[in-house]
């Protein structure tokens, strides 16, 4: 493959359909891979090791940090969460775009460390629709819905940090849009450094030769 894969961050409002989008992208195209986070928190019912998370203990997590084995990590409520480096690098090396489904704080860390990463924010078509989706689940108390809305307000404050904002109205259309954004992103100079320095050097050589 001509180019290394892209490190992608997918964030967005709870209820925006990120999980379904990621599944759709991976099913439809063979050049995407989902990064699975490592965590020290205990598995919840139904969560499987290596699917939702890699579950591990504090000692192993801290050893992994020391060995520079995580590209980013954070701690919430006394538990560590992090992105293992090896999988990300392996997949990118074979040309796959690696998706991190993480939130604003993690997204900002990734962008700082990897300026060539691509940050995408997913949103429903409107706030009205987001509210409808949160209420529709039906299982949540008004308090939980209020919390989620407050959380959505916070999340909305960070949108400008993302490279692109995509509206998830129709799933298939949205998958296609994200795929095109990744394709477009490949054409940003920050991801064409080799090409640029090659053409620059060659031109300098020709210009000298022509004098």
CB 133 → a copy of itself: shortest distance, Å? 12
87 strand-pairing partners: none
Q: Which is nearer to a copy of itself, 29 or 54 (CB)?
A: 29
Extended beta strands in the chain, E state: 7-12, 32-34, 38-39, 54-55, 70-76, 79-84, 97-100, 118-123, 164-167
CB 76 → a copy of itself: shortest distance, Å? 22
CB 187 → a copy of itself: shortest distance, Å? 4
Residues 80-139 that bind a copy of itself (CB under 8 A): 121, 123, 126-128, 130-131
Burial of 176 (0-12, 13-18, 19+ CB in 10 A): middle
Residue 67 C-beta-side C-alpha neighbours within 13 Å: 10
- Asked if residues 67 and 85 have their Cβ atoms less than 8 Å apart, the reply is no
- The 172-201 contact track toward a copy of itself, x by CB under 8 A, reads -----x--xx-xxx-xxxx-x--xx-xxx-
Over the Cα atoms of the chain, what is R_g?
20
Residues 23-62 that bind a copy of itself (CB under 8 A): none
Task: Among 153, 170, 172, 173, indicate the residue that binds a copy of itself (CB under 8 A).
Answer: 153
Q: Which is nearer to a copy of itself, 43 or 205 (CB)?
A: 205
Angle ∠(116,189,30) on CA atoms, nearest 5? 55
- Number of amino acids touching a copy of itself (CB under 8 A): 47
Q: Which is nearer to a copy of itself, 78 or 115 (CB)?
A: 115
How far apart CA 198 and CA 189 sit, in angstroms, is 13
Residue with tokens 């054409």: 187
Binding site for a copy of itself (CB under 8 A): 121, 123, 126-128, 130-131, 142, 145-146, 149-150, 152-153, 156-157, 159-160, 162-166, 177, 180-181, 183-185, 187-190, 192, 195-196, 198-200, 202-207, 210-211
């Amino acid at each position: 493959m001509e180019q290394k894969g892209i490190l992608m961050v997918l964030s967005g409002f709870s209820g925006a359909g990120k999980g379904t989008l990621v599944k759709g992208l991976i099913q439809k195209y063979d050049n995407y891979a989902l990064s699975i986070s490592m965590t020290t928190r205990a598995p919840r019912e139904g969560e499987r090791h290596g699917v939702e998370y890699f579950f591990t203990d504090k000692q192993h997590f801290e050893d992994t940090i020391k060995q520079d084995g995580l590209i980013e990590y954070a701690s919430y409520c006394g538990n560590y969460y992090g992105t293992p480096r090896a999988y990300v690098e392996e997949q990118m090396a074979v040309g796959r775009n690696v998706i991190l489904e993480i939130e604003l704080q993690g997204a900002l860390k990734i962008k700082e460390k990897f300026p060539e990463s691509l940050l995408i924010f997913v949103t429903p078509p409107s706030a009205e629709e987001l509210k409808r989706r949160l209420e529709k689940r039906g299982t949540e108390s008004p308090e939980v819905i209020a919390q989620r809305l407050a959380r959505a307000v916070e999340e909305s404050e960070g949108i400008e940090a993302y490279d692109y904002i995509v509206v998830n109205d129709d799933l298939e259309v949205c998958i296609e849009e994200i795929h095109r954004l990744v394709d477009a992103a490949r054409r940003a100079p920050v991801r064409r450094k080799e090409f640029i320095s090659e053409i620059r050097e060659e031109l300098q050589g020709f210009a000298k030769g022509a004098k």
